[in-house]
Every structure is written in C-alpha cells, then in structure tokens.
Amino acid sequence: GKYDGSGKYKDFVASDQYYGARAYETFLTDYLEGERSKTDEFMQALSRQRQRLFFSLPGGHGLDPWNLTVYRSSGDFLAFTESLRSNSEITSTSETLVRGLNRTFCGMMMDDSTVLHLASSGGDGRGRIASILCHDVPVNKSRRDPFLKFDISNDDSVPSIRIIDPADKDSEYLDSLDLQLTHFEYLVRVANGSLPASFSRQCHEDFLDFKLRLIKRLDDVFGRDASADEVNLEAITVDERGRAQSEDIRIRISTQ
C-alpha cells in the first residue's frame, strides 16, 4: 500500500508480528489488487486494526487515536467537559461550538462565534435557510440582556448550553440544552464545514427544537410592539468573509 514503507507504518503496524501486518496485509493486498469478493473480510480486518491501534498507540507521536473512531472530537469533548468542571479556559472550543450553532440555526456558512443568531425561516421555522433574524444573544456575560453561557450539566456529566437572563432573579436560566457526545461532534463538524444534516439528522432536529424554544422564550422576555399599519422585520445574510449582515425591512400594510 501507499504507506507500508513509512516510518509510522513500520512502528505501529509492521512491528506487531501477531496482530499487526501479519493479520492485515493479506486482506489489504487482495483489496488493492481488485479482489472484491473479499471486501467484507478486508473491512473486518481493517476494523480490527483500528481497534488495536486505538488502544496501543503511544503518546508523543502526534497521532490522535480518536481519529480512528466516528467521534473524532471525543478528546476535545472530554477536555471541554473537564475545563467546565474546573472553570478553566474554554474560549477556543466555545467559539467552535457557537460557529456550529450559527450555521445550524441560519443555514448559512457563518463564521460568527461571539454572538448567537436566532433566525427563522417563517412557517414552522424548520426551513433549510433561516433569514429572518429574531434575536441576537451575545456570548460574553451581560448585566442586563440575556447571554449564552457554557456550563457543566446539572448531573456534572456533560457540557450544557444555557441562556441566562440577568433580569430574571427567579430562574437560573431561560433554557438549556445538554450536549451529549453526538451533539458535540455534530457542532464541531458543522463548524468545520460539514452540512448541518449530514452527520446526524436527529442532532439537527434537536438543535432546531432548541432554537424555536429560545425564540419563543426571548419573544416573551422582550415582547413585540405591534403596529397596525407596518410590519418590521430584520433580514440576515452573510458576506464573503462569513460575517453576518442584517438589514431592516419595513412592510406597509394597507388600512383600506
């Protein structure tokens, strides 16, 4: 194969005389030579190698064993969870998660990571592109307005997205969503360029449900001033740099 002469291949595959090259290379050679009748056997051998390497890769070689799994961001998930428990620095990861949320909530390739944009597509709010901006929620703590905060979940097991309203002295937060590993992986992949529904449609639906709940709760907090002769909307788009751009739209309503 392409890598069978590389140093890493020799160190981590060929060097294992029992469970490495000897148990794998025959299947690999057949596959590379076009022997498709043994594809299932090759895939099983490949899976066994991935499992073996996951548990046997030594540290210090710049190789991340989590890249051998479906959940490539698992290491970051564990580190982020521990940082929340210990109140350590989380800026880099939180920016990635907010970028993934914005791309999911708006259906656009946004790079904003300091403000959460809650946008609607009209109708049931589940359209692929949501271009009517309902609310902006800052990530930085505010003394007056609702803001987003990442915290540890109530059972101290996973990260949680929480929307805090400083003016509400009766509730700890307006709403929250605990991030299971699949949710975390989804947001990281979307932040890095994957389409929102490509990794997990269920995660996509979970985040859309969360967005619609937040819009409803923030509508209740801020209220809406109704006008008899005019409807005010705010459209949101994204520029060539991935920055959100908003524009006020006023629609006159005939009173005749």
Strand partners, 232: 250
Instruction: In whole angstroms, give the CA distance from residue 31 to residue 102.
Output: 42
**For residue 1, pLDDT beyond 60:** no
**For residue 73, pLDDT beyond 90:** yes
Per DSSP, the residues of 11-40 read: IIIIT-TTTSHHHHHHHHHHHHTT-GGGHH
The pLDDT tens digits for 206-249 are 999 999 999 999 999 987 665 667 777 889 999 999 999 988 88
Closest CA to 72 of 158, 185, 184, 179: 185
The pLDDT tens digits for 179-208 are 999 999 999 999 999 887 788 899 999 999
Instruction: In whole angstroms, give the CA distance from residue 235 to residue 224.
Output: 17
Instruction: In whole angstroms, give the CA distance from residue 166 to residue 25.
Output: 61
The DSSP call for residue 246 is E
pTM (2 d.p.): 0.85
**At 162, is the secondary structure helix, strand, or coil?**
strand
Question: By the 8 A CB rule, do 130 and 105 touch?
Answer: yes
Geometric angle at alpha carbon 46, from 40 and 50, rounded to 5°: 145
